[in-house]
Amino acid sequence: MEKIGNHLQAISLEVVTLADQDIAAMGKILNYFEEIEEAFGSIDNPVFSDLIKALMGYLERIIMAETEDMTPLEEGIECLQKIFRSLKNEEDVNDDVSGLLEALRYEKSDAVKEEDIRTEDLPEAETNALIEIRAEDREIMGDFVLESLDNLSAIEISLIDLEQDPSDVETINAIFRPFHTIKGVSSFLNLEKINKLAHSSENLLDHARNRAIQIDAGIIDIILESVDMLKKMIQNVHGALESGSVIEDNITTVDLTQRIEALNTRASGTEEKTLGAILVESGSVSPEDIKVSLERQKEEPGKKIGEILVEQKKIDSKTVISGLREQKKFKHGQIELQVKVDTKKLDNLVDLTGELVINQAMLKQNNTIVLANDQKLYHTMNQLTQITSSLQKTAMAMRMVPIKATFQKMVRLVRDLAKKSGKEVALEMSGEDTEIDRNVVEELYEPMVHMIRNAIDHGIESIEDRENVGKKKSSTINLRAYQRGSNIIIEIEDDGRGLNKDRILEKAKSKNLITDNMKLTNSEIYNMIFHAGFSTVKSVTDVSGRGVGMDVVKKAIEKLRGRVEIDSRPGHGSKFLISLPLTLAIIEGMLVRVGHDKYIIPTLAIRESFRPEKDQYSTIKQKGEMILSRGRLIPLIRLDQIFSVKGDAEKPWEGLVVTVENDGEKRCLLLDELLGKEEVVIKSIGQYMKSVKGIAGGAILGDGRVGLILDISGIFEIANGSAVKRVEVEEGIIQ
Report how far residue 187's alpha carbon sits from residue 117's, in angstroms, rounded to the nearest whole number: 15
The stretch 138-154 carries a mean pLDDT of 80
Q: Note if the pTM is more than 0.75.
A: no
454 labelled catalytic? yes
The stretch 61-81 carries a mean pLDDT of 77
Cβ-contact 658, 609 below 8 angstroms? yes
Amino acid identity of residue 330, one-letter, is: F
**pLDDT interval class at 172 (50, 70, 90):** confident
pLDDT at 137: 63
E strands along 369-434, which residues?
400-402, 424-430
Cβ-contact 729, 704 below 8 angstroms? no
**pLDDT interval class at 592 (50, 70, 90):** very high
Catalytic residue among 173, 195, 454, 487, which? 454
pLDDT at 148: 85
**Residue 677: is its pLDDT beyond 80?**
yes
442 labelled catalytic? no
User: What letter would DSSP give residue 270?
Assistant: S
Report how far residue 131's alpha carbon sits from residue 191's, in angstroms, rounded to the nearest whole number: 8
Tell me the C-alpha to C-alpha distance, in Å, between residue 733 and each of 140, 619, 621, 728: 76, 8, 9, 11
Q: What is the CATH number of domain 344-401?
A: 1.10.287
Q: What is the pLDDT of residues 428-456, one digit of tens each?
A: 888 888 888 877 887 888 888 888 988 89
Q: What is the CATH number of domain 586-721?
A: 2.40.50.180
pLDDT at 727: 34
**Residue 523: is its pLDDT beyond 50?**
yes
Over the range 459-491, which residues count as b (16 or more CB within 10 Å of their CB) and which as e?
bbbebeebeeeebeeebbbbbbbeeeebbbbbb
Spatial CB neighbours of 617, under 8 Å, sequence gap ≥ 6: 625, 626, 627, 628, 636, 651, 652, 653
Degrees, nearest 5: CA angle 619-625-631: 80
Of 327, 288, 290, 282, nearest in space to 308 by CA: 290
Q: What is the pLDDT of residues 557-572, one digit of tens each?
A: 888 878 888 888 888 8
Cβ-contact 135, 141 below 8 angstroms? no
Q: Which of 160-169, 291-300, 309-318, 545-554 shows the lowest mean pLDDT across its residues?
A: 545-554
Q: Which of 41-55, 171-185, 649-663, 672-686 shows the lowest mean pLDDT across its residues?
A: 41-55
707, containing H or E segment: strand 706-710
pLDDT at 729: 34
56, containing H or E segment: helix 46-63
**Residue 160: is its pLDDT beyond 50?**
yes
Report how far residue 715's alpha carbon sits from residue 724's, in angstroms, rounded to the nearest whole number: 12
Superfamily of structural domain 2-111:
HPT domain (1.20.120.160)
How does the average pLDDT of the chain come out, rounded?
A: 77
**pLDDT interval class at 492 (50, 70, 90):** very high
Euclidean distance between the first and final Cα of the chain, in Å?
110
- Architecture of 135-253 per CATH? Up-down Bundle (1.20)
E strands along 458-572, which residues?
474-484, 487-494, 563-569
Amino acid identity of residue 605, one-letter, is: A
Spatial CB neighbours of 89, under 8 Å, sequence gap ≥ 6: none
Return the top range by mean pLDDT from 41-50, 324-333, 531-540: 41-50
pLDDT at 327: 60
The stretch 351-356 carries a mean pLDDT of 82
Beta-bridge partners for 628: 633
* Strand arrangement, sheet containing 673-681: 673-681, 586-594, 597-602, 706-710, 695-700
**pLDDT interval class at 123 (50, 70, 90):** very low
191, containing H or E segment: none
Report how far residue 456's alpha carbon sits from residue 413's, in angstroms, rounded to the nearest whole number: 10
Beta-bridge partners for 428: 478
264 labelled catalytic? no
pLDDT at 125: 45
Report how far residue 63's alpha carbon sits from residue 100's, in angstroms, rounded to the nearest whole number: 20
Report how far residue 96's alpha carbon sits from residue 506's, in angstroms, rounded to the nearest whole number: 82
pLDDT at 42: 52
Report how far residue 690's alpha carbon sits from residue 710's, in angstroms, rounded to the nearest whole number: 13
Phi-psi region of 292 (alpha: psi -120 to 50; beta: other; left: phi over 0): alpha
Q: Which residue has the higher pLDDT, 645 or 64?
A: 645
- Helix 138-164 crosses helix 169-188 at what angle (to 10 degrees)? 160
Report how far residue 110's alpha carbon sits from residue 303's, in angstroms, rounded to the nearest whole number: 26
Q: What is the pLDDT of residues 232-246, one digit of tens each?
A: 888 888 877 777 765
Residue spans of alpha helices (H) in 623-683:
639-642
Q: Which residue has the higher pLDDT, 230 or 33?
A: 230
Q: Which of 43-47, 142-146, 533-537, 647-651 shows the lowest mean pLDDT across its residues?
A: 533-537
pLDDT at 574: 92
Residue 568's CB is within 10 A of a number of other CB atoms, namely 22
Q: Which residue has the higher pLDDT, 22 or 615?
A: 615
Report how far residue 347's alpha carbon sits from residue 399's, in angstroms, rounded to the nearest whole number: 8
pLDDT at 586: 74
Report how far residue 437's alpha carbon sits from residue 581's, in angstroms, rounded to the nearest whole number: 9
Q: Does domain 403-581 have CATH number 1.10.220.10?
A: no
Catalytic residue among 202, 261, 435, 661, which? 202
